Structure 1
Amino acid sequence: MTVTVVHWGTGATGALALRGILSHPELELVGLYVHSAEKAGLDAAELCGLSEPTGVVATNDAAALRALGADCLSYFGPGRAPTAIGDVLPFLEAGIDVVTTSFGGLTHPPAAESVLREPAEAAALAGGASLFSTGIEPGYASDLLPLALLSACDDVHGVRIQEVADYSHYPGADALRIGFGFGEPADYPAALADPARLIGGWRGVVELVGDALGVRFDSVEATYERRSLDRDVDTAIGVVRAGTTAAVRFEVQGMVDGVPFVVLEHVNRMAADAAPDWPHARLGDRLVYRTEVTGRPGFACELAFDEPQSEFGRIATGMRAVNAIPAVVAARPGLLSATDLPVTVSRNSRPGGRPVPVRS
Structure 2
Amino acid sequence: MEGRRISIRVVHWGTGAAGREALRGIINHPGLELVGVCVNAAEKEGRDAAQLCGLAEPTGVVATRDSAALLALRPDCLSYFGPGPGREKAVVADLVPFLSAGANVVTTSLAGMVYPPAADARSREPLAAAAASGQSSFFATGIEPGFGSDLLPLSLLSACDDVESVRIQEIADYSTYGVEEAMRFAFGFGNPPDQPGILFTGDLLVNEWGAVISQLADALGLRLDGIDTVHEVATVNTDLSTAIGTLRAGEVSGVRFEVRGLLDGRPVIILEHVNRMGAAVAPDWPHGSTTDTLVYRVEIEGRPAMRCELTFDQVAGSDHGLIATAMRAVNAIPAVCAAPSGLLSALDLPVIAGRNVVRRAP
Measured against the shorter chain, the TM-score band is: over 0.9
List aligned pairs for 1:247-262, cutoff 5 A: 247-262=254-269
- Please report how far the alpha carbon of residue 71 of structure 1 lies from its aligned counterpart in structure 2 after TM superposition: 0.5
- Please report how far the alpha carbon of residue 210 of structure 1 lies from its aligned counterpart in structure 2 after TM superposition: 1.0
Where has structure 1 moved over 3 Å in runs of 4 or more?
Answer: 351-354
Q: Secondary structure at the match of 2:90?
A: coil
Q: Secondary structure at the match of 1:216?
A: coil
- Please report how far the alpha carbon of residue 284 of structure 1 lies from its aligned counterpart in structure 2 after TM superposition: 1.3
Q: Secondary structure at the match of 1:13?
A: helix
Task: Give, as a single letter, the amino acid of the residue that structure 2 aligns with 1:171.
Answer: G
Deviations 1:275-331 (A, max 9, x none): 111111112111100000000000100000111773111000000000000000000
Match among 280, 292, 314 for residue 285 of structure 1: 292
The question of 1:242 aligning with 2:246 is answered no
Partner of 2:49: 44
Partner of 2:10: 5
The question of 1:32 aligning with 2:40 is answered no
- Please report how far the alpha carbon of residue 183 of structure 1 lies from its aligned counterpart in structure 2 after TM superposition: 1.1
Task: Give, as a single letter, the amino acid of the residue that structure 2 aligns with 1:152.
Answer: A
For the residues of structure 1 that align with 2:358 and 2:213, how far apart are their CA atoms?
Answer: 36
The question of 1:324 aligning with 2:329 is answered no
1:165/1:267 contact within 8 Å kept: yes
1:287/1:308 contact within 8 Å kept: no
- Please report how far the alpha carbon of residue 351 of structure 1 lies from its aligned counterpart in structure 2 after TM superposition: 3.7
Q: Does 308-317 or 72-81 show the bigger shift?
A: 308-317
Cα root mean square deviation, aligned: 1.3
2:294/2:312 contact within 8 Å kept: yes
Match among 89, 98, 109 for residue 91 of structure 1: 98
Match among 5, 19, 36 for residue 14 of structure 1: 19
Task: Give, as a single letter, the amino acid of the residue that structure 2 aligns with 1:14.
Answer: G
Partner of 2:116: 109
Partner of 1:232: 239
- Please report how far the alpha carbon of residue 130 of structure 1 lies from its aligned counterpart in structure 2 after TM superposition: 0.5
The question of 1:341 aligning with 2:349 is answered yes
1:195/1:221 contact within 8 Å kept: no
Q: Secondary structure at the match of 1:215?
A: coil
Match among 223, 226, 229 for residue 219 of structure 1: 226
Q: Secondary structure at the match of 2:336?
A: helix
List aligned pairs for 1:123-162, cutoff 5 A: 123-162=130-169
Match among 64, 67, 85 for residue 62 of structure 1: 67
Partner of 1:273: 280
Partner of 1:358: none
- Please report how far the alpha carbon of residue 352 of structure 1 lies from its aligned counterpart in structure 2 after TM superposition: 3.2
Q: Does 119-128 or 190-199 show the bigger shift?
A: 190-199
| Matched pairs, number | 354
- Please report how far the alpha carbon of residue 30 of structure 1 lies from its aligned counterpart in structure 2 after TM superposition: 0.6
Task: Give, as a single letter, the amino acid of the residue that structure 1 aligns with 2:260.
Answer: Q
* Runs of at least 5 residues in structure 1 that lack an aligned partner in the other structure: 355-360
For the residues of structure 2 that align with 1:270 and 1:36, how far apart are their CA atoms?
Answer: 28
For the residues of structure 1 that align with 2:21 and 2:359, how far apart are their CA atoms?
Answer: 21
Partner of 1:200: 207
Q: Secondary structure at the match of 1:253?
A: strand
Deviations 1:83-119 (A, max 9, x none): 2210010000001000000000000001111111111
For the residues of structure 1 that align with 2:218 and 2:228, how far apart are their CA atoms?
Answer: 17
For the residues of structure 2 that align with 1:325 and 1:283, how far apart are their CA atoms?
Answer: 33
Q: Secondary structure at the match of 1:245?
A: coil
Task: Give, as a single letter, the amino acid of the residue that structure 2 aligns with 1:164.
Answer: I
Partner of 1:357: none
Partner of 1:177: 184
Q: Secondary structure at the match of 1:319?
A: helix
2:187/2:196 contact within 8 Å kept: no
For the residues of structure 1 that align with 2:33 and 2:178, how far apart are their CA atoms?
Answer: 29
